[in-house]
Amino acid sequence: MQFDYEKNPQSIESKSFEIIRALVNLGQFNREQQQIVMRVIHSLGLPQLAEQIRFSAQACESGLHALAHDCPILCDVEMVRQGITKRMITQQPMCFLNHADTVERAKLSGETRTMAALESWRDQLAGSVVIIGNAPTALFRLLEMLAAGADKPALIIGMPVGFVGAAESKSALWEHHTSLGIECITLLGREGGSAVAAATCNALLRCLRGEYY
């Protein structure tokens, strides 16, 4: 059995972004934002998501500067951590979800492990890039921590997915990012997930390397 299909990875990627540009009006976005929007659409196969993406005023600039200086990359789940393109970074992304102290803390408090894991983020938050692609509870907890005076990350990529709390947590991030003094990129609504959150960070890393489509 044989099929006629494109096998060259560069050709596949290039053609994919040609199609996205033909389907979506990207004129409202700057150069770096366009790269992120296309990666988000590419990750989920949904051109209409361009209408749901939100960038704070200096989100890309702040994220690029932090990543260029090897900032900590904090991930809510292992799927996000594994999705970061390792050839583009020198410092491994961190996820504390499965650490023994996180598991114990969650049992004692009766909260989700993704919430409990954020306690281990405190010493790493300042100037970091935070990527939340799975757990709305983690995003809500992070906002609570920041409101209580925790150190501010350089960028929050908040794109949890689901039917309970996902849309609400992203709306809260977008509504309060200015008052909290934080930069963020988010995808409003129920859509999101580990792949699209990691793809957003990867898009910034590609921009640092001069890889634009």
* Residues carrying an active site annotation: 42
Backbone angles phi, psi at 131, to 5 degrees: -125, 115
The CA distance from 153 to 171, in Å, is 19
Q: Residue 202's CB: how many other CB atoms inside 10 A?
A: 20
The CA distance from 98 to 199, in Å, is 23
Q: Which residues contact 206 (CB under 8 A, 6 or more apart)?
A: 35, 88, 212
Phi-psi region of 125 (alpha: psi -120 to 50; beta: other; left: phi over 0): alpha
The CA distance from 6 to 27, in Å, is 29
Please write down the HEC assignment for all residues of 112-154: CHHHHHHHHHHHHCCCCEEEECCCHHHHHHHHHHHHCCCCCCC
Phi-psi region of 77 (alpha: psi -120 to 50; beta: other; left: phi over 0): beta
What's the token pair of residue 36?
A: 């992120």
